[in-house]
Amino acid sequence: MSDPEVAPDAAQKKKSKLPLLIGVVLALVLGGGGFYATYSGLVLGPAADAAMADPSGGGHGETVADADHGEAAKPDGDHGEMAVDAGHGESASGHGEAAPAEGRHNTAANERLPELAFVPVQQVVISLGSAANNAHLIMSSQLEVDKPMAAEVTMLMPRILDVINGYLRAVDVAQLEDPSSLVTLRAQMLRRIQIVTGEGRVRDLLITEFVLN
């Protein structure tokens, strides 16, 4: 009596497993079909293509554009700041240079010239070399002195002419012909004139004519 009772139970178990197997098979079939449709572009294909083809929308397009604009704007800002800073720097340096120049002009305008006098020296004519050459040196000059000393220097003019004639006659003719030697000749004559006139009387010797004839 036990066999007839076992048989119905086995049949019921087989019937209860059949719907489960059918469901698993259908799930596998539907899953495989959905995967294939998605992979081949049948599902969500047009929407995705439209989103990619839309030039006005899209996060990536806007991000790239914004990034490009941001990068382009940054150098402009840097250059703008550098240009402004450079402009201020040049302007400041320009004002800094102009101020000392104006100060120098104001100082020169306010500074008074010392009271000077110019004492003319008699023209000196010296024969050079042998008489056959007939070469002469002609020199005209003036002495720069302080105005209170003008009368005393004029009184000492014979001494001044004496030292000038004596020095020029002792100088070699080749040195007199060299234009670059005039500075040295002038300094030597001034030193001798200051010795014979006394300290502080003659400030400078101005040569107005120096001709070899």
pLDDT confidence tier of residue 205, bands split at 50, 70 and 90: very high
d(CA 111, CA 210) in angstroms, rounded, equals 33
Residue length of the chain: 213
Element of type H or E holding 78: helix 59-110
% pLDDT > 70, the chain: 52
d(CA 35, CA 44) in angstroms, rounded, equals 12
pLDDT in tens, 115-146: 899 999 999 999 887 654 678 999 999 999 99
CB 121 within 8 A of CB 160: yes
Backbone φ and ψ of 62, nearest 5°: -65, -35
* Coil, helix or strand at residue 114: coil
